[in-house]
Structure 1
Amino acid sequence: MFAVIVNTIAIIIGTCVGLLVKKGIPKEISSNILKALGVCTVIIGIQGAIQTSNILILILSIALGVFVGEFFNFEGKVNRFFQNLLGKIAKGENSVSKITEAFITSCLIMNVGAMVIVGSLDAGLRENYSMLYTKSLLDLISGIMLAATMGAGVFGSAAFTLIFQGTIVLLSKYISPYMSEFLIGEISATGCAIILALGFNMIGITQFKVINYIPALLMVPLSIFIIALLPL
């Protein structure tokens, strides 16, 4: 768990630095930086998504995941949760919306990918923290950039990282037998497809309901099973 705590602290420090930097950045420059980060996010998403071993698995996972997400309207529920939680603190609905956007964006960028899963499993099973330490450095930089352009909502990703990665570390001995290299690769590729949609949102080209795409990550094992049954 030590490496997870280090990762969490790195995000908090990065966010604090980013918020200090944000005060000196004109709004127009901040907006352009966010779009530039969006372009980088799109590139990362494309690079990761094309690593899938079978494009049908990715397509089916996204389709099933979006169906579940839209059916239960996870995006609406998350937005209402933050509205109720922050409505009395934030000044107006627009502020709550920005905090929510910063939280979701930072959580996805920092917690979707093979590095999160493999690094957490290594930390729990072999006490090998090198990958999570590397991720901590990357998240420190990401925290600075995201907080400088999107604001204090990035703080929330520190708590999410602690809970998400901490859970994988604590349960590593139980879930490791089921997490094959193939499965991790497909989950990572599907996650990067979601990151791609997020990047387009950051640029301002689209308004994908990214939260409704997240169930796709849980649909990967089912998609692999279904594809395996097809006479391809």
Structure 2
Amino acid sequence: MTGTIVNIIAIGIGTSIGLFFKKGISPRVKNTVMQGIGLAVLLVGLQMSLQGEQLLIVIISLALGGICGELLKIEYNLERLGMWLESKVGDNGGNVARAFVTTSLIYCVGAMAVVGAIEDGISGNTDTLFAKAMLDGVSSIFFASTMGIGVIFSGLPVLVYQGTITLLAASLKDILNPFVINHLTSTGGLLIIGIAINILEIKKVNIGNLLPAIIIVIPLAYFMQYLHLF
């Protein structure tokens, strides 16, 4: 759980910096820093995506995952969840509650948290979660400067959410062979590239609806290997 722990520390440091500077950070600085981190996330995704030996497995996984995600309306439901929680907190919840809910959703709901936690549990590779820690740390500076100390409490749901996924993935690593792990990593890497595209505002990619691909790729890789197709 090294990646998750670093992620929580980054949120704490970012919140502290944001509280210190208050509203003295210009939008231009924020935009430039986020662009730089977006490029770093893109690099992480590219490195991961090259792990797969057979592109066909990754393509089929993403296609089937996208179909499942659209049918389940994952992206839409995640957005609805955020809107519902925000409405429940509202102005009556106070700045601390609003900051906590808002940043918890941002830090927990996303492909980077899922893929990174799985990678950390299966292979001990923390690159994705370290990249996420940079993103969360920088964004927490700006959130804390405008929303207050409630941002720091979002570290708790991050610990529970990502930590649980990591522990579950670790329990499965003994039954996953290198061939399956490589294609899981490759599929996750392409999702990370999609996140980078969103951060850089090149085009809106519905990453939430593609998340089922990282589940589908596991049995699919086993099946293809069993049939000796690769």
Determine the structure 1 residue equivalent to 2:122.
118
Q: 1:164 aligns with which of 152, 155, 162?
A: 162
Determine the structure 2 residue equivalent to 1:17.
16
Query: Which residue identity lines up with residue 48 of structure 2 in the other structure?
Result: G
Residues 149, 14 of structure 1: alpha-carbon distance in 2 compared, 3 angstrom cutoff: same
Q: Which runs of 5+ in 1 are unaligned?
A: 121-130
2:215 is equivalent to residue 218 of structure 1: yes
Determine the structure 2 residue equivalent to 1:125.
none
Q: Which runs of 5+ in 2 are unaligned?
A: 92-97
Tell me, in whole angstroms, the C-alpha distance in 2 between the residues paired with 1:211 and 1:205: 17
Superposition pairs of residues 2-151 of structure 1, within 5 angstroms: 6-7=5-6, 9-17=8-16, 19-20=18-19, 23-89=23-89, 102-103=106-107, 107-113=110-116, 115-118=119-122, 141-148=134-141
Scaled by the length of structure 2, the TM-score of the pair is 0.72
Tell me, in whole angstroms, the C-alpha distance in 2 between the residues paired with 1:119 and 1:51: 13
Q: By how many angstroms is 1:51 displaced?
A: 1.6
Determine the structure 2 residue equivalent to 1:178.
175
Determine the structure 1 residue equivalent to 2:95.
none
Q: In the alignment, is the contact (CA less than 8 A) between 1:10 and 1:139 conserved in 2?
A: no
Scaled by the length of structure 1, the TM-score of the pair is 0.72
Aligned residues: 214
Deviations 1:135-193 (A, max 9, x none): 98766544322323577779657524433333543674x52331223322221211110
Identity of aligned residues (%): 19
2:202 is equivalent to residue 209 of structure 1: no
Tell me, in whole angstroms, the C-alpha distance in 2 between the residues paired with 1:171 and 1:184: 11
User: In structure 2, the residue corresponding to 1:52 is in which secondary structure?
Assistant: coil
Query: Which residue identity lines up with residue 137 of structure 2 in the other structure?
Result: I
Tell me, in whole angstroms, the C-alpha distance in 1 between the residues paired with 2:138 and 2:47: 21
Query: Which residue identity lines up with residue 43 of structure 1 in the other structure?
Result: L
User: In structure 1, the residue corresponding to 2:44 is in which secondary structure?
Assistant: helix
Query: Which residue identity lines up with residue 210 of structure 1 in the other structure?
Result: I
2:196 is equivalent to residue 199 of structure 1: yes
Q: By how many angstroms is 1:80 displaced?
A: 0.7
User: In structure 1, the residue corresponding to 2:51 is in which secondary structure?
Assistant: coil
